[in-house]
A and B are shown apart, each in its own frame.
Chain A
């Protein structure tokens, strides 16, 4: 149980275009979903926290107008990278908390999406 999927697993796009990445909790409902970015040889960096039906909370230094997050249901969150540039090329990973989990806050991670902007 507790499986999180991401789509697409990889994407290549031209500079200036927008890319949407989906994150789904397949067998549980998620109270909160998180988006991370990971550059090569580095650790994961939290970008934003999203709760279903409310606006996402962005970490310091993350542009909310560039990285649009929509969390329309308890099983789906989307991250749209708008007007992508080569410096946005990275590994994007989402995670989710189960609505049934109250205390220990175990998060379940998706497999990641590799974005390459040409």
Chain B
């Protein structure tokens, strides 16, 4: 099964770090882990991706467990604009994305 497991929802305070977990225990050695987020009435937006090493970009950091069975998306300083549904994706064959239910992140001002 190519789906991942994420908590349904999380809350955080503005300007605090947010750690969004994801389990992908059946991941294969060549599958990349991608994170996307979706704001209301918009298409998903690419956030970050990685294979084995931790990754950083201007939006977030991605910490990947050594056994690659889980990963954590880190938003270093949450803002109200970060409120969205965050999807953790591992690719199945033929480059298809299978979306799970994602984590709905709420930010308290």
Number of A-B contacts (CB under 8 A): 58
- Give Cα A63–Cα B11 distance, bound, in whole angstroms: 39
Residues of A within 8 A of B75 (CB): none
Binary A-proximity of B78-109 (CB < 8 A = 1, otherwise 0) = 00000000010001001111111110000000
Residues of B within 8 A of A2 (CB): 46
Interface size on A, residues (CB 8 A): 26
Residues of A within 8 A of B42 (CB): 111-112
Looking at chain B's contact residues, is the secondary structure mostly helix, strand, loop, or mixed? Answer: loop
The verdict on A46 contacting chain B, using a C-beta distance below 8 Å, is yes
Residues of A within 8 A of B98 (CB): 46
Residues of B within 8 A of A36 (CB): 99
Of B36, B38, B95, which one neighbours A105 at CB under 8 angstroms?
B95
The reply to whether B101 and A43 contact each other, CB–CB distance below 8 Å, is: yes
Interface size on B, residues (CB 8 A): 23
Of A43, A110, A111, which one neighbours B99 at CB under 8 angstroms?
A43
7 smallest A-B Cβ distances: which pairs? A109-B43, A44-B99, A43-B99, A109-B44, A112-B43, A105-B95, A104-B32
B interface residues with partner A (beta carbon < 8 Å): 32, 34, 36, 38, 41-46, 49, 51, 87, 91, 94-102
